[in-house]
């Protein structure tokens, strides 16, 4: 069945969002989270429209985002950034893979990782609910709380890792202490994230322009200087482990947006064609990711034969390498300006995570939902700042480990969700009963989800079996030549899909009827 036909079937199956219960007018009276946000942060109104809604469903009459550019640009700009380049550089500079091998892996697994992000963006458009509220119908109420908490940790961690890459570049440009650089990046991100959905979409729409220009300047410098060396693509059994680990990083890099995907399409009208959300979201994530990841791999390949750039990467990771290409014996002052602008690209990279972490916190527990989204945005960014400063001093290993762990969590989530939709929901959106009062955030109104909870725990067991981290090497990964390789995400998504497909029918038969 073609993708187009499949989406037409989905569109015909989905119950109109107007038929769902939504937050009543009572929830908007004084004392509600939304009302408190309006009162506490009205001073920001002169700077732009502040979104005060949290995890409540977005009513149909407020869903006015009809531009196909919104789902395209929300991930386009974040991935034209120094953080994305740092991930691609790991393939060549850290794992010793040749450029062409990295390129093939990036193209294939960036696209694969982006597909489920597009799918859950359609969920957000159709149901008007945030991703971690939708999770309650996909994995069960109890497991959904754990996944929401893990997504909070993920968003905070992402922001910290991206901030470190930017600070390395700022430090290379001038005598700026790393803690000060972290405050600049995190503070700017937090300020913009306070405004919410519309301002974030507007910022992401235009912020990529200078960053794309700088990427092409880097490409020109690599060509002019002749430092780029693709490396040897010959078959080497000793590279298998590094290849598998790099695949895990790329998949985690793109699919890591899955636990937040629906957050960015809840203001799109429910009658919008699914293709207008799915494909812009997929290509808006895939194209910039492929571009910057490959550019990062090319920059990392420059360390093969250039001792100066190799030392720069060893000393200051991607920030030192970028500075060495753009400034040292290169563009001088203009190169420094490019470095500063490119470091600020991290703000666009961190904005979606700063937005989603506040929503995911509200989805963890009803009492947390009473605190306005904006407050959680401030607290989450403060924690991210506290993490980024010490992690700055061991960036490459921290980035590698963090991306892999994100891949495990996303794979477990995907395995359960796909099984739920295909088997328990019989591949039909009509079988999703979303008639609950999300303003109460009540445990009792959605199924407990014993199958989802048990599968999640078993999934993490398999993650440990297949992981290859600096702090732990799993039983299965130890046997991959030459000294291990990460197969955690492949094991996680396969095992959880199978296990949940077995447990869920038993749950439906003996415990729950819906």
Copy the structure tokens of residue 199. 């301002």
Residues shown for the chain: 514
| 446 phi/psi in degrees, rounded to 5 | -130, 145
Binned at pLDDT 50, 70 and 90, residue 435 comes out as low
- Residues pairing with 171 in the sheet: none
Question: In terms of C-beta density within 10 A (0-12 exposed, 13-18 middle, 19 or more buried), how is residue 45 classed?
Answer: exposed
For the chain, the average pLDDT equals 82
Residue 444 has pLDDT above 60, yes or no: no
pLDDT at position 99, please? Answer: 95
Mean pLDDT, residues 178-182: 87
Q: What percent of the chain has pLDDT over 70?
A: 83
Binned at pLDDT 50, 70 and 90, residue 23 comes out as very low
pLDDT at position 209, please? Answer: 93
Contact 373, 359 (CB under 8 A): yes
Neighbours of 366 (CB within 10 A): 13
CA dist 44 → 40, 49, 139, 203, 339 (Å): 9, 8, 37, 17, 31
Q: What is the pTM of this model?
A: 0.84
Greatest CA separation found in the chain? 72
Distance of CA 96 to the CA centre of its chain: 26
Contact 44, 234 (CB under 8 A): no
Residue 336 has pLDDT above 70, yes or no: yes
Where are the chain's structural domains?
62-397
Q: What is the pLDDT of residues 114-147, one digit of tens each?
A: 999 999 999 899 888 899 888 888 888 889 999 9
pLDDT at position 246, please? Answer: 92
Mean pLDDT, residues 454-471: 87
Instruction: Answer yes or no: CATH 3.30.9.10 is held by domain 62-397.
Output: no
Name which of 23-32, 81-90, 359-368 the model is least confident about. Answer: 23-32
* DSSP track, 32-100: SHHHHHHHHTGGGGGGSPPP---SSPPPGGG-----THHHHHHHHGGGSSHHHHHHHHIIIIIT---HH
pLDDT at position 27, please? Answer: 36
Binned at pLDDT 50, 70 and 90, residue 401 comes out as low
pLDDT at position 399, please? Answer: 57
* DSSP track, 457-505: HHHHHHHHHH-B-SS-B-TTGGGSTTT----HHHHHHHHHHHHHHHHHH
Instruction: Say which residues have a Cβ less than 8 Å from residue 452's Cβ, sequence separation at least 6.
Output: 138, 139, 140, 142, 143, 144, 416, 420, 500, 504
């Amino acid at each position: 069945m073609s993708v187009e036909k499949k989406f037409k079937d989905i569109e015909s199956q989905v119950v109109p969002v107007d038929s769902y219960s939504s937050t009543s007018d009572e929830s908007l009276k004084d004392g509600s989270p939304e009302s408190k946000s309006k009162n506490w942060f009205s001073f920001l109104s002169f700077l732009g429209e502040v979104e005060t809604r949290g995890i409540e469903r977005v009513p149909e009459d407020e869903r006015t985002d009809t531009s196909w550019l919104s789902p395209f640009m929300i991930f386009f700009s974040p991935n034209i950034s120094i953080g994305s380049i740092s991930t691609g550089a790991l393939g060549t500079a850290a794992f010793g893979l040749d450029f062409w091998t990295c390129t093939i892996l990036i193209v294939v697994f960036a696209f694969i990782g982006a597909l489920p992000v597009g799918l859950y963006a359609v969920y957000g458009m159709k149901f008007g609910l945030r991703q971690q509220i939708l999770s309650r119908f996909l994995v069960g109420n109890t497991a959904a709380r754990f996944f929401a908490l893990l997504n909070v940790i993920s968003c905070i961690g992402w922001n910290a890792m991206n901030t470190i890459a930017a600070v390395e570049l700022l430090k290379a440009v001038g005598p700026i202490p790393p803690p000060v650089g972290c405050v600049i990046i995190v503070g700017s991100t937090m300020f913009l994230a306070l405004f919410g959905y519309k301002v974030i979409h507007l910022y992401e729409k235009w912020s990529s322009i200078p960053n794309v220009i700088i990427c092409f300047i880097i490409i020109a410098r690599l060509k002019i200087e002749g430092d780029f060396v693709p490396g040897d693509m010959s078959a080497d059994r000793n590279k298998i482990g590094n290849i598998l680990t790099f695949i895990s990083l790329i998949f985690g890099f793109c699919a890591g947006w899955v636990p937040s995907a629906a957050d960015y399409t809840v203001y799109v009208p429910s009658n919008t064609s699914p293709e207008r959300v799915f494909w812009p979201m997929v290509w808006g994530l895939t194209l910039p990711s492929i571009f910057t990841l490959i550019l990062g791999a090319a920059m990392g390949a420059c360390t093969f034969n250039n001792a100066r750039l190799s030392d720069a990467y060893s000393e200051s990771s991607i920030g030192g390498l970028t500075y060495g290409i753009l400034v040292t014996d290169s563009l001088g002052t203009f190169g420094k300006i490019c470095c500063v602008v490119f470091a600020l690209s991290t703000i666009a990279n961190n904005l979606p995570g700063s937005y989603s972490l506040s929503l995911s916190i509200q989805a963890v527990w009803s009492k947390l939902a009473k605190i306005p989204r904006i407050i959680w945005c401030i607290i989450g960014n403060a924690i991210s700042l506290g993490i980024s400063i010490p992690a700055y001093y061991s960036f490459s290993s921290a980035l590698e480990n963090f991306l892999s762990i994100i891949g495990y969590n996303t794979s477990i989530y995907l395995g359960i969700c796909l099984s739920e939709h295909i088997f328990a929901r019989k591949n039909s959106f009509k079988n999703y009963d979303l008639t609950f009062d999300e303003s109460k955030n009540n445990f009792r109104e959605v199924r407990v989800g014993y199958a989802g909870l048990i599968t999640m725990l078993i999934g993490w067991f398999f993650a440990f079996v297949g992981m290859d981290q600096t702090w732990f090497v799993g039983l299965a990964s130890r046997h991959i030549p030459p000294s291990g390789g990460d197969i955690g995400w492949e094991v996680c998504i396969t095992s959880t899909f199978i296990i949940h497909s077995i447990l869920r029918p038993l749950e439906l038969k003996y415990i729950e009827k819906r």
